[in-house]
């Protein structure tokens, strides 16, 4: 019989024990759970607090450096669930922010193009009259 392994959800912090990786899907988020590099027995020997602490650190360590910086002061005090939820929320906001930045860049370029076109039109319009003077 295969041994059980510990898996956790990077989105909500839920954890469970599975024999096969394909079964390790978070029942709440429906995402693939991440394998914890610690044996099932070792994990079982930890207290609930130690497990929360370990998984909190795992979730933060697998986040972007930006999230790691933001979460650093909270590591000690927050529960695993809160850390996971906050990390996910920050990642969402980061993605949203990136999209907004891209939109602003695109708008800037469009406005710039319009100003250029407008200037050209004005030049074409005024040039003949200038020549007459
Ligand atoms: Zn989940």
Q: How far is CA 105 from the centre of its chain?
A: 21
pLDDT at 40: 94
Query: Is 106 inside any structural domain?
Result: no
Query: Is 110 inside any structural domain?
Result: no
CA of 86 to the centre of ligand 1 (A): 13
Higher pLDDT, 92 or 7: 7
CA of 97 to the centre of ligand 1 (A): 24
CA of 105 to the centre of ligand 1 (A): 35
Query: Is 48 inside any structural domain?
Result: yes
Query: Is 128 inside any structural domain?
Result: no
Query: Is 122 inside any structural domain?
Result: no
Most confident among 5-9, 103-107, 108-112 (mean pLDDT)? 5-9
Query: Is 49 inside any structural domain?
Result: yes
- Residues 6+ away with beta carbon under 8 Å from 133: none
- Own/partner long-range contacts of 26-29 (Cβ < 8 Å, ≥24 apart): none
Higher pLDDT, 5 or 128: 5
CA of 35 to the centre of ligand 1 (A): 13
What is the Cα Rg of the chain in Å? 27
Cα–Cα distance between 12 and 91 in angstroms, integer? Answer: 13
Residue 108 has pLDDT above 90, yes or no: no
pLDDT in tens, 54-83: 998 888 888 777 777 777 666 556 577 778
Query: Which range of residues forms the domain containing residue 15?
Result: 5-94
Query: Is 112 inside any structural domain?
Result: no
Number of domains in the chain: 1
Query: Is 58 inside any structural domain?
Result: yes
Across 37-61, b (16+ Cβ under 10 Å) vs e yields eeeeeebeeeeeeebbbbbbebbbe
Closest CA to 71 of 8, 13, 7, 6: 13
Higher pLDDT, 80 or 29: 29
């Amino acid at each position: 019989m295969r041994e059980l392994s510990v898996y956790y959800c990077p989105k909500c912090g839920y954890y469970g024990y599975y024999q096969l990786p394909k079964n390790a899907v978070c029942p709440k988020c429906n995402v693939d759970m991440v394998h914890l590099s610690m044996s099932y027995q070792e994990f079982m020997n930890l207290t609930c607090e130690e497990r929360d602490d370990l998984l909190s650190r795992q979730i933060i360590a697998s986040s972007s450096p930006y999230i790691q910086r933001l979460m650093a002061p909270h590591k000690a005090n927050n529960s695993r669930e809160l850390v996971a939820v906050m990390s996910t929320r920050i990642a969402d906001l980061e993605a949203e922010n990136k999209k907004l930045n891209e939109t602003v860049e695109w708008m800037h370029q469009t406005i710039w193009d319009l100003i250029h076109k407008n200037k050209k039109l004005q030049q074409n319009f005024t040039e003949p009259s200038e020549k007459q003077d």
